[in-house]
Amino acid sequence: MTLAVVTGASSGIGAAVAQHLAERGLTVLGVARRAMALEKTGAQIRGPGRFESVVADLTTDAGIADVATAVAGRPVTALVHSAGIDHVREPAMTTRAELDHLWNANISAPFLLTKALLEFFADGAGVVFIGSTAAVRGIDRHAPYGASKAALLGLTVNLAADLAPRVRVNCVSPGGTRTPMTADYVNAYRQGTAPELADRAFAVESGRMLLGGLIEPKDVALTVGHLAVDAVAMTGTTVYVDGGFTAR
């Protein structure tokens, strides 16, 4: 059965992608750091595909190796790298350790995991990275995160050139999506900010989304699934699933 590797499969967009691909009949290898959360994702899968899991920290060499071992030589049709971390802090307060951690999670991990799976990719396989509109639209207290997602766009186009024509590499950049990471971002954004000012800022940003409101993870998953499996003529592209945010 066709194998898809999905990182960050314990919640949010990653969990929605895992469920979507399993519903399409793929065997999904879900990767995350929390075993119980992965089990919850697996319990929500409604076939006809299967769900397997591996607990791994992709910021470490051991974690990358654990995923490659779990693949067990099977052909990989899709790799969706949804795992990543956010960072909300004033530039003056950001440390080198925080920058290194952010870079390892958001750039090094997707590159090194793709590298580790190169020998396993089936012909025509699709790699999809999960980016962010923060790469192209400025947000205060978000410079390192936005820069890491901008680097992911560069990784997409350059890996597409390296791996063509056997493997396609694309990126999906969501806007505000109803995920635990978004909730954490809101909480972090409020720190040191009067609640009424934070509320006003988010109301203004929501008003810039042409379709209104937060995006659901399942809607992002539909586009991810298309790029990973169906879009055989697309590589090196970034697709924005942002409710029209960047169009403003």
CA distance 150 to 238: 11
Return the domain boundaries, the chain: 3-176+216-241
100 backbone φψ class: left, alpha, beta (φ>0; ψ -120 to 50) = alpha
Yes or no: say if 52 and 27 are a contact pair by the CB < 8 Å rule: yes
Residue 145 annotated to the active site:
yes
Yes or no: say if 245 and 175 are a contact pair by the CB < 8 Å rule: yes
Q: For residue 234, what pLDDT is reported?
A: 98
Mean pLDDT, the chain cut into blocks of 10 residues (248 residues total) = 92 93 96 94 90 97 98 96 85 91 96 98 98 82 88 98 98 76 54 52 60 82 97 97 83
Per-residue pLDDT of 104-150, as tens digits, reads 999 999 999 999 999 999 999 999 999 998 887 877 777 888 999 99
Copy the structure tokens of residue 69: 């071992």
- Residue 170 neighbours by CB under 8 Å, 6+ apart: 126, 127, 128, 129, 156, 160, 227, 231, 234, 235, 236, 237, 238, 239
The top-level CATH class assigned to 3-176+216-241 is alpha beta
SS3 148: helix
Q: For residue 233, what pLDDT is reported?
A: 97
Q: For residue 247, what pLDDT is reported?
A: 81
Per-residue pLDDT of 70-82, as tens digits, reads 999 899 999 999 9
Q: For residue 164, what pLDDT is reported?
A: 98
**Three-state secondary structure readout of 62-112:** HHHHHHHHHHCCCCEEEEEECCCCCCCCCHHHCCHHHHHHHHHHHHHHHHH
Q: For residue 1, what pLDDT is reported?
A: 64
Of 124, 100, 115, which is closest to residue 155 (Cα–Cα)?
115
